Amino acid sequence: MDGWMDGWCVDIMELSEQEDMRKFHYHTLRLYCALCALGNTRVAHALCSHLDQSQLLYTIDNQYLSGMLREGFYNVLISIHLETAKEARLMMKDEFIIPVTAETRSIRLFSSASKKHSPPGVGLSTSLKPRLNFTPPCFISTKRDYLYSPQIPLDALKEKAISMLTEAVQGGGHHIRDPVGGGVEYQFVPILKLISTLLTMGVLGSEDVQKILLLIDPNVFRDMREEGVTGPTDKEGLTGTEGKAVEAGEEEAAKEAKQPMKGLLEKRLPEPVKRLMCELLHYFCDCELKHRIEAIVSFSDSFVSKLQCNQKFRYNELMLALNMSAAVTAKKTKEFRSPPQEQINMLLSFSMGDDCPCPSEIQEELYEFHNQLQLHCGIPMEEDEEERDTSIKGRLLMLVNKIKSQSYKAQEPKEKKRAAPCEEILTFLLSL
């Protein structure tokens, strides 16, 4: 009996029937994660001899694994291969190093003239981030090969993660009798944690991010572009019954197509899944902030260049002028004799009216960008004040209209300010 027990081997699928051994194996996986903490890449390379890539990629894709082991293997995969790169990106989350290049100058707040929000995390971004550095797994080596995390095929991992999240959203929920992992929490938490890690690392491209946003809430992030209408199908050569069958099949397919897919935010989610969704939406809010900062840098480069060109033009024009008195010359050259900080203050003092040296065209550009930035941040724009009627009749009419509008607003419920899609969803999720 003892000899038989010494050579006893248990299949991983049998652990679902043996709770004590399943817990022991789960805590062993947690021990592996703890050993890899704080960038201990040397232990991570050594653990690759116990858990190689093929085993990890198989276990995270296995739908029949118990929930505890499923979560444990996902955590081990992230700790061994991805955690170091993720932490390096998170350290620079609040730092924005933006090189002024041609790509940076092409960034705009709104991608089209319609001034509609583009999905967060989608599009061009030029902020500098730490590079992803990996080395092939080396179990025993005398060289300093442990500086970086063990290598893993990120493209294959990315495709697996997106496909598994799609399957979970389309076929998961509380109405399923036997969900993957034995529960909704074990079905969504591991894959959402992996998706969040890959997003932080910058592995996912714009198309991948668009797919994830549609899985979160297709009603908010659905692409508004009209798709082309397909041409009519060829039904010639069919009998009457065959034609009716084809039409019936088309009607059923149309009904199925009309049924919208429910996103993650429309499902009944447990608390751990909600917490991960909050972290995911926080990431997309950070992407919105980064895009605004890059757009401000892009506009500032163009705006300052125009200011400098105009200032140089006025300076050359002033140097060529000969018929000016001493008082006029002193007034005209005051801007150029001032320190740089006072010069920029004079150029941006638009309230000076005609005395402001900045041309009206450049002033309008700054006002326009300010309005666009307010619109992008969800701040309602104030209506442009036209030329008011300063007569007594005009003042009375304006006063009456103002009082009527205030009383009308007091009767109606106050509407909330329109915020960015990510901020709206985050507020809604936190209120659940």
Task: Split the chain (432 residues) into runs of 10 and give each run's mean pLDDT.
Answer: 53 78 91 92 89 88 88 94 94 92 93 83 91 85 72 94 92 77 88 96 93 90 48 42 48 51 86 93 93 95 92 85 75 82 83 77 91 86 53 60 56 51 60 56
Q: What does the pLDDT read at residue 117?
A: 82
> Are the CB atoms for 378 and 417 separated by under 8 Å?
yes
Q: What does the pLDDT read at residue 3?
A: 38
**Which residues are within 8 A (CB) of 280 and not within 5 positions of it... i.e. 6 or more apart?**
192, 195, 196, 199, 216
Q: What does the pLDDT read at residue 332?
A: 78
Q: What does the pLDDT read at residue 400?
A: 60
* The pTM of the whole model exceeds 0.75: yes
Helix (H) or strand (E) holding 150: strand 149-150
* Six-digit token string for 288: 């919105």
Q: What does the pLDDT read at residue 238?
A: 43
Question: Residue 98: helix, strand or coil by DSSP?
Answer: coil
